[in-house]
Amino acid sequence: MDDLLGKISIITGGAMGIGKEIALRLARDGSDIVIVDIEGELTGKVLNEIQLTGRKSLFYEVDVTRWDRVKAMVHEVLKSFNKVDILVNNAGIVGPVAPVWEYRVEDWDRVMEINMKGTFLCCKAVIPSMLKQKNGRIVNIASISGKEGNPRMGAYSSSKAAVIAFTKALAKEVAQQNIMVNCIAPALIETRMLEIMGKEQREFLLSKIPMGRFGTPAEVSALVKFLVSDECSFSTGQCYDLSGGRAVY
């Protein structure tokens, strides 16, 4: 498939895990790719893999919580490519797994900053150019925890609930400009994040998935691919479940 040919996509947190898979999938489908991440080391390999698909790729080492850096990155991308068609807000952290009364305030702030504020800042920087071209697709990677509230993950769950609400609010602001804004709520997906959260929490959350298995980054990227394509033309402000049956609403 090359139905994204000529599109320019920015993927945050694209150095590894789900973001890397999304970057490679959109490249295989024809899009040029801009990876934004604080992880510089691994990104070279991803950029090479993208170039093997025949697409252009750029990398910006940016912390998505820094407005000055996000703004400068989008400015540079517009200078290089003249437009941004697709933004995938994927950068995120799980934070510590702990009950609310033991949760450190600075950990709470960091989880909120990256997961929520980072999503806001990247949208804020990219949308003016999308409004000009009256076209755009934005996908925010939320989480099933934002719908259900996972115990011992209060900050993470709250940040992802905020991403879902933000998606709905923003979608309405740009609905008449052919800019679709949607989000995805995955349950456990096989990435480094599962190791970070620890065995006990991982097994507890796995027990809640009727399919009895983790999802894969490829399954996330398949859904992202549809949501960023021109075929997604009458759905906006939605939260798409990707949870092996955990949430049926």
Query: Would you name the residues annotated as active-site residues?
Result: 156
- Taking CB under 6 A as the rule, does residue 18 contact ligand NAP? yes
Q: Which is nearer to ligand NAP, 39 or 173 (CB)?
A: 39
Beta 86-89 vs 136-141: how paired, if at all? parallel
Q: Which is nearer to ligand NAP, 104 or 134 (CB)?
A: 104
Q: What DSSP string describes the chain?
A: --TTTT-EEEEETTTSHHHHHHHHHHHHTT-EEEEEES--TTHHHHHHHHHHTT--EEEEE--TT-HHHHHHHHHHHHHHHS---EEEE--------B-GGG--HHHHHHHHIIIIIHHHHHHHHHHHHHHHHT-EEEEEE--THHHH--TTBHHHHHHHHHHHHHHHHHHHHSGGGTEEEEEEEE--BSSHHHHHH-HHHHHHHHTT-TT-S-B-HHHHHHHHHHHHSTT--S--S-EEEESTTS---
Q: Which is nearer to ligand NAP, 130 or 142 (CB)?
A: 142
Selected from 26, 50, 141, 174, the binder of ligand NAP by CB under 6 A is: 141
Applying the rule CB under 6 A, the residues between 38 and 97 that interact with ligand NAP are 38-39, 63-65, 90-93
C-beta of 66: minimal distance to ligand NAP in Å?
A: 8
Q: Which is nearer to ligand NAP, 217 or 237 (CB)?
A: 217
C-beta of 233: minimal distance to ligand NAP in Å?
A: 25
- Taking CB under 6 A as the rule, does residue 188 contact ligand NAP? yes
Applying the rule CB under 6 A, the residues between 193 and 222 that interact with ligand NAP are 193-194
C-beta of 221: minimal distance to ligand NAP in Å?
A: 11
Applying the rule CB under 6 A, the residues between 107 and 136 that interact with ligand NAP are 114, 118
Q: Which is nearer to ligand NAP, 58 or 188 (CB)?
A: 188
Residue 217 phi, psi (nearest 5): -55, -30
Compute the distance between CA of residue 220 and CA of residue 197 in angstroms, rounded to an integer. 20
Compute the distance between CA of residue 98 and CA of residue 151 in angstroms, rounded to an integer. 8
Selected from 154, 186, 237, 244, the binder of ligand NAP by CB under 6 A is: 186
- Taking CB under 6 A as the rule, does residue 148 contact ligand NAP? no
- Taking CB under 6 A as the rule, does residue 15 contact ligand NAP? yes
The residues that touch ligand NAP, with contacts defined as CB under 6 A, are 12-13, 15-19, 37-39, 63-65, 90-93, 114, 118, 141, 143, 186, 188-189, 191-194
